[in-house]
């Protein structure tokens, strides 16, 4: 009998099929992670905030431009009588379905105050609440847990009065002033890895007036403290339950968190997913979705595929993927003001061995150096950079970091430098350079800013084409470059770097990354400049700060060894299930997910389902 | 045989020690880990604290002795980012990687073995040509590229399988196939060549002359002997899956040890990377030890040599 392969192979095929099914079945059987079950939510009725709460919020800055967290401390809110606790308003809808969010990182996934460094805010914000939050429409600070607040003595004293409605999920009573003090002390602790630990360490003492009122006394003026408490960037300083954490201990609280937000934790599979469910009758809002899951998907392409396949509803992604999203027909939600991108010109850190006073853009003749920098700026078609490297999701509207057009501190003379290669060559010649020179540009994909090498490449190409520069590209991993960057010893002279939004006023970021006495110097090493930053930090009066920022801008414009290119938008990919989503200006990280498909309203006012 | 096993076991322990030392040295030669661990804005004091925490302020020899001592009792330290014991994190993820590895292996055998047998029996046929093309493609196609392609076709366009994660039993299919295709081709080629060798052997000719049916010749006499190298090779293949898991798990967001190690690289979690690499190496060495013992059992000439 002639052997017939297929027939003879049937037993083997069956055996192997069984083996495969067993393997897959095994996967299914163990796929359910050991749930980290949070304590059951309280059945106690939640209470509505006082209706006058929003009326006592701090007034907006004297500008119509979007304001960021903490930018309006000059104004003071007058404390009002404590509101009478009232039942939560009946929800206009019942939460249904599930919202699924995919993101690249959950951070270190720790639920203790002071243990998380920042990236956790995205997932955490769904269950935790802050004293303040930001109005998505204006960017101004408004009360969240705090009903009202007041800044006194030029920033030395801050008083907060809490709403009476918010309750901890485990039935451990209302959110109190003790919880606030406990959380702040944890943020200030020596082992705190919180990004704003330094600010909390300036607190000299606390005064608990009553269970809902706390006065915070600083050792030195801290005029923008509100910006550290507003759920923005880097305002991830949430309020945690003192009694619960002290009762169960850090080890348990770190894996079984209790919070006060509109969702509560039901499962945390570390490094994989976090699942939440809506809290019925929550004081602030009733979410549109009954369940919400955050999935960790490190690979960008996979997140895009998940969205396109309908597996998730929201993805966090960078502008470097904008073109791919557009090509795939994915809906993009953009957030202006996420960062400003520019080229930092090196060789001029006066306190470092790498200091080179002869670099063309920082030679002793300040006038010639300025012409060189202007020439380099004029030789770049910034609109083209936005189109090519940022997928069109940015604006070439800056000449200094976060000095956006229309802001009160942006003088007409700070208008963006256009594109004029002829003028660039003329200026270069005027500065005494027959042609361009040879230098290196470092191309480093910074976390969350993977577009930077593309920006650097686009700039280098244009400098070569328009000025005849001879440029060596140096692609580097961030981890490898970090040491050089920190020490300011990096070879080569130019590096594209995007400064992220931390607050509306430009000095808020520059104080963190470019103060001459600070731990890190990313933009500008200069005593005069640092003096401006110090003075701004101690000036409670907004109008006076505007004048100081204008003066500082003039100084930067003539001296700053950096060419600002564009404002970068933060972007998210969103699926068909997402109809509305109120996000705060400048916040390019996933936030306010509890508000998806709801009509946004200030905390304390009825939040309704979007049509 | 006992002496042979003892010798191989000793060699495995020495190999493991060498690997641990290499990991230890490389992690220190690649620069100051504290510079990588600390945030860009960290002060000197904060960096000194990290150095103290990790024991990096001690002499190198002391660090090495402590490191080996801890590793031998499977104390892999604490993750710098999550503050969880590395051993615990690895134990949580290792089963997922093993599941993926076994599923990929099952796919490799399920597809590679029958095609290899068929191609050998029908040598020179059109199907044999197709099988060889399949093998060449499988061995030349990068698994990450294949992974993205599979996601695009089966998840985005056809919408029949999930694009990533570990949400349902079907979630394993795409990553397992992506990882298994390379080895499917290898198993197919090995089975085909091994089968061809055996089919040309004298005892097979004798079996045919005796008038045995072709089915009996293939299944009873040829297949059994031709599978010996395939089985031993499969054990080695499984260790290859561990390496491939880093890429595949990342592309498919599969929560295994590979993606955990890559997370460690991204967050510069030095103890996690070190622990993960040592565990991978230990599995590799153990698998090779198993193959050596298996060879020694199957072929007495090896253990006598």
Write out pLDDT tens, residues A69-116. 333 333 333 333 333 344 455 567 899 999 999 998 887 788 888 887
pLDDT reading at A602 higher than 70: yes
pLDDT confidence band for A597 (50 / 70 / 90)? very high
Q: Is A44 on the interface with B (CB under 8 A)?
A: no
* Separation CA B253–CA A362 (nearest Å): 47
Q: How far is B44 from chain A (nearest CA, A)?
A: 8
- Substitution target in B95, B110, B168, B178 with the highest count of A β-carbons within 10 Å is B110
Q: What are the tens digits of pLDDT across the range B22-73?
A: 888 887 776 666 766 666 556 677 778 777 877 778 888 888 888 888 888 8
CB proximity under 8 Å: A 397-456 to B? none
Q: Do B171 and A27 touch (CB under 8 A)?
A: yes
Across-strand partners of A449?
A446
- The average pLDDT across A532-549 equals 92
pLDDT reading at A519 higher than 70: no
- The average pLDDT across B91-110 equals 90
Q: Judge whether A122 and A568 are in contact, CB under 8 Å.
A: no
Residue the block writes with tokens 């003088």: A411
Q: What is the pLDDT of residue A4?
A: 40
Query: Out of A30, A31, A520, whose CB is closest to B40?
Result: A520
Q: Is A267 on the interface with B (CB under 8 A)?
A: no
Q: What is the pLDDT of residue A34?
A: 34
pLDDT reading at A65 higher than 80: no
Long-range contacts of A344-347 (CB under 8 A, 24+ apart): A344/A494, A344/A495, A344/A496, A344/A497, A344/A522, A344/A523, A344/A561, A344/A562, A345/A373, A345/A376, A345/A493, A345/A494, A345/A561, A345/A562, A345/A563, A346/A488, A346/A490, A346/A492, A346/A493, A346/A494, A346/A495, A346/A561, A347/A493
Q: What are the tens digits of pLDDT across the range A127-154?
A: 999 999 989 988 888 999 999 999 999 8
Spell out which residues of chain B touch residue A36, defining contact as CB-CB under 8 Å: none
Q: Do B118 and A23 touch (CB under 8 A)?
A: no
Q: What is the pLDDT of residue B54?
A: 75
Query: Out of A108, A115, A483, whose CB is closest to B31?
Result: A483
Q: Do A20 and B151 touch (CB under 8 A)?
A: no
Spell out which residues of chain A touch residue B37, defining contact as CB-CB under 8 Å: none
Q: What is the pLDDT of residue A144?
A: 94
Q: What is the pLDDT of residue A68?
A: 34
Beta-strand pair A98-103/A291-296: parallel
Spell out which residues of chain A touch residue B215, defining contact as CB-CB under 8 Å: 1, 3, 8
Q: Judge whether A599 and A607 are in contact, CB under 8 Å.
A: yes
Q: Do A305 and B155 touch (CB under 8 A)?
A: yes
Q: What is the pLDDT of residue B43?
A: 67
Q: What is the pLDDT of residue B301?
A: 67
- Substitution target in A11, A29, A31, A576 with the highest count of B β-carbons within 10 Å is A31
* Report for A9-23, A341-355, B49-63: range of highest mean pLDDT: B49-63
User: Of B143, B15, B216, nearest to A3 (Cα)?
Assistant: B216
Q: What's the distance, CA B199 to chain centroid?
A: 31
Q: Do B107 and A20 touch (CB under 8 A)?
A: yes
Which helix (H) or strand (E) segment is B66 a member of?
helix B60-72
User: How many CA atoms lie less than 13 Å away from A336 in the CB half-sphere?
Assistant: 16
Burial of A20 (0-12, 13-18, 19+ CB in 10 A): buried
Q: What is the pLDDT of residue B71?
A: 84
* Beta-carbon contacts below 8 Å between A and B: 175
- The average pLDDT across A11-23 equals 39
pLDDT reading at A349 higher than 80: no
Q: What is the mean pLDDT of chain A?
A: 80
Query: Out of B117, B148, B255, whose CB is closest to A301?
Result: B148
Which helix (H) or strand (E) segment is B70 a member of?
helix B60-72
Q: What are the tens digits of pLDDT across the range B199-246?
A: 888 888 888 888 888 888 888 888 877 887 887 787 777 777 877 888
Q: What are the tens digits of pLDDT across the range A220-262?
A: 888 888 888 886 665 578 999 999 999 999 989 988 999 999 9
Q: How far is B195 from chain A (nearest CA, A)?
A: 14
Q: Do B173 and A24 touch (CB under 8 A)?
A: yes
Q: Do A295 and B155 touch (CB under 8 A)?
A: no
Spell out which residues of chain A touch residue B35, defining contact as CB-CB under 8 Å: 482-483, 486
Q: How large a percentage of chain A has pLDDT more than 90?
A: 44
pLDDT reading at A15 higher than 60: no
What is the model's pTM?
0.79
Task: Tell me which chain A residue has its CA closest to the CA of residue B42.
Answer: A519
Task: Tell me which chain A residue has its CA closest to the CA of residue B159.
Answer: A309
- The average pLDDT across A491-514 equals 79
CB atoms within 10 A of CB A81: 8
Residue B259 corresponds to which tokens in the numbers above? 């993606």
Q: What is the pLDDT of residue A233?
A: 62
Which of A25-34, A93-102, A436-445 comes out lowest in average pLDDT?
Answer: A25-34
pLDDT greater at residue A502 or residue A406: A406
Task: Tell me which chain A residue has its CA closest to the CA of residue B248.
Answer: A299
How many helices (H) and strands (E) in chain A? 15, 21
Assign 3-class secondary structure to A501-547: CCCCCHHHHHHHHCCCCCCCCCCCCCHHHHHHHHHHHCCCCHHHHHH
- The average pLDDT across A373-390 equals 94
pLDDT reading at A49 higher than 50: no
Which of A24-38, A130-144, A307-321, A406-420 comes out lowest in average pLDDT?
Answer: A24-38
* Report for A359-373, A430-444, B256-270: range of highest mean pLDDT: A430-444
Q: How far is A244 from chain B (nearest CA, A)?
A: 21
Q: How far is A476 from chain B (nearest CA, A)?
A: 14
CA dihedral A455, A460, A466, A469 (to 10 degrees): 160
Q: Does ipTM top 0.85?
A: no
Q: What are the tens digits of pLDDT across the range B122-149?
A: 888 888 888 888 888 887 888 888 999 9
Q: What is the pLDDT of residue A577?
A: 94
Q: What is the pLDDT of residue A75?
A: 36
Q: What's the distance, CA A53 to chain centroid?
A: 27
Which of A73-82, A180-189, A419-428 comes out lowest in average pLDDT?
Answer: A73-82
User: Of A349, A361, A355, nearest to A562 (Cα)?
Assistant: A361
Q: What's the distance, CA A575 to chain centroid?
A: 22
- Substitution target in A27, A103, A274, A448 with the highest count of B β-carbons within 10 Å is A27
Q: What is the pLDDT of residue A70?
A: 38
- The average pLDDT across A454-462 equals 94
């Amino acid at each position: 009998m002639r052997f017939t392969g297929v027939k003879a192979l049937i037993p083997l095929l069956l055996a192997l099929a069984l083996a495969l099914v067993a393997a897959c079945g095994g996967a299914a059987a163990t796929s359910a992670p050991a749930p980290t079950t949070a304590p059951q939510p309280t059945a106690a009725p939640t209470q509505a905030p006082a209706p006058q709460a929003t009326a006592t919020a701090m007034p907006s800055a004297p500008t119509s431009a979007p304001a960021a967290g903490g930018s309006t401390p000059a104004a003071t809110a007058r404390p009002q009588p404590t509101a009478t606790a009232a039942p939560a308003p009946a929800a206009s809808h019942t939460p249904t379905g599930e919202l699924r969010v995919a993101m690249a990182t959950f951070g270190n996934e720790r639920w203790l105050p002071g243990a998380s460094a920042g990236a956790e805010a995205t997932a955490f914000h769904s269950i935790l609440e802050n004293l303040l939050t930001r109005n998505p429409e204006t960017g101004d600070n408004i009360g969240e847990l705090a009903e009202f607040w007041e800044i006194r003595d030029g920033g030395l004293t801050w008083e907060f009065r809490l709403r009476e409605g918010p309750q901890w999920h485990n039935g451990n009573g209302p959110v109190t002033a003790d919880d606030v003090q406990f959380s702040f002390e944890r943020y200030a602790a020596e082992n705190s890895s919180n990004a704003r630990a330094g600010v909390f360490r300036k607190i000299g003492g606390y005064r608990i007036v009553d269970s809902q009122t706390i006065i915070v006394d600083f050792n030195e003026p801290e005029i923008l403290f509100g910006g550290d408490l507003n759920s923005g960037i880097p305002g991830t300083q949430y309020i945690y339950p003192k009694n619960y954490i002290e009762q169960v201990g850090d080890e348990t609280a770190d894996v079984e968190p209790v919070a006060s937000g509109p969702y509560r934790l039901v499962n945390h599979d570390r490094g994989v997913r976090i699942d939440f469910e809506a809290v019925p009758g929550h004081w602030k809002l009733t979410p549109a979705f009954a369940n919400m899951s955050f999935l960790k998907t490190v690979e960008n392409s996979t997140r895009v595929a998940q969205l396109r396949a309908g597996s998730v509803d929201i993805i966090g992604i960078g502008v470097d993927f904008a073109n791919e999203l557009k090509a795939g027909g994915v809906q993009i939600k953009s957030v202006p003001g996420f960062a400003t991108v520019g080229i930092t010109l090196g060789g001029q850190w006066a306190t470092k061995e790498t200091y080179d006073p002869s670099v063309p853009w920082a030679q002793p003749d300040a006038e010639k150096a300025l012409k060189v920098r202007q020439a380099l700026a004029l030789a770049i078609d910034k609109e083209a950079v936005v189109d090519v490297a940022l997928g069109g999701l940015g604006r070439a509207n800056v000449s200094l970091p976060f000095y956006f057009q229309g802001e009160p501190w942006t003088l007409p003379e700070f208008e963006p430098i256009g594109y004029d290669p002829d003028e660039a060559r003329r200026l270069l010649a005027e500065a005494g350079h027959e042609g361009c020179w040879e230098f290196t540009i470092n191309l480093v994909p910074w976390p969350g800013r993977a577009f930077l090498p593309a920006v650097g490449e686009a700039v280098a190409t244009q400098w070569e084409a328009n000025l005849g520069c001879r440029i060596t590209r140096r692609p580097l991993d961030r981890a490898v470059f970090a040491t050089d960057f920190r020490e300011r010893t990096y070879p080569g002279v130019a590096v594209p770097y995007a400064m992220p939004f931390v607050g509306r006023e430009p000095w808020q970021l520059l104080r963190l990354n470019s103060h001459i006495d600070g731990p890190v110097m990313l933009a500008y090493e200069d005593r005069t400049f640092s003096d401006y930053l110090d003075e701004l930090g101690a000036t409670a009066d907004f109008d006076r700060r505007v004048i100081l920022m204008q003066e500082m801008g003039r100084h930067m414009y003539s001296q700053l060894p950096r060419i600002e290119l564009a404002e970068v938008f933060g972007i998210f990919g969103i699926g068909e299930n997402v109809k509305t989503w109120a996000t705060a200006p400048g916040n390019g990280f996933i936030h306010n997910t509890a508000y998806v498909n709801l009509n946004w309203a200030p905390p304390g006012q009825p939040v309704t389902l979007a049509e | 045989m006992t002496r042979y096993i003892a010798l191989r076991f000793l060699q495995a322990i020495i190999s493991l020690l060498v690997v641990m030392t290499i990991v230890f040295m490389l992690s220190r030669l690649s620069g100051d880990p504290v510079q990588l661990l600390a945030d860009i804005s960290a002060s000197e004091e904060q960096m000194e604290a990290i150095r103290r925490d990790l024991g990096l302020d001690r002499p190198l020899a002391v660090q090495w002795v402590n490191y080996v001592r801890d590793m031998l009792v499977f104390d892999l330290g604490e993750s710098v980012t999550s503050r969880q014991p590395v051993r615990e994190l690895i134990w949580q993820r290792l089963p997922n990687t093993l599941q993926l590895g076994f599923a990929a292996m099952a796919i490799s055998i399920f597809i590679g073995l029958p095609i290899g047998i068929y191609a050998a029996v029908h040598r020179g046929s059109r199907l044999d040509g197709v099988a060889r093309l399949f093998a060449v493609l499988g061995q030349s196609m990068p698994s990450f590229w294949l992974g993205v392609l599979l996601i695009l076709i089966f998840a985005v366009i056809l919408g029949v399988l999930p694009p990533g994660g570990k949400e349902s039993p079907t979630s394993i299919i795409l990553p397992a196939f992506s990882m298994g295709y390379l080895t499917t081709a290898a198993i197919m080629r090995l089975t085909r060549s091994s089968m061809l060798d055996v089919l040309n052997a004298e005892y097979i000719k004798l079996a045919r002359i005796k008038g045995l049916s072709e089915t009996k010749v293939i299944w009873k006499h040829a297949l059994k002997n031709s599978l010996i190298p395939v089985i031993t090779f499969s054990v080695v293949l499984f260790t290859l899956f561990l390496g491939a898991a880093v890429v595949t798990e990342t592309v498919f967001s599969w929560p295994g040890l590979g993606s955990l190690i890559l997370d460690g690289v991204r967050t510069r979690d030095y103890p996690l990377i070190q622990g993960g690499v040592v565990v991978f190496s230990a599995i590799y060495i153990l698998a090779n030890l198993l193959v050596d013992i298996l060879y020694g059992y199957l072929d007495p000439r090896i253990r006598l040599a």
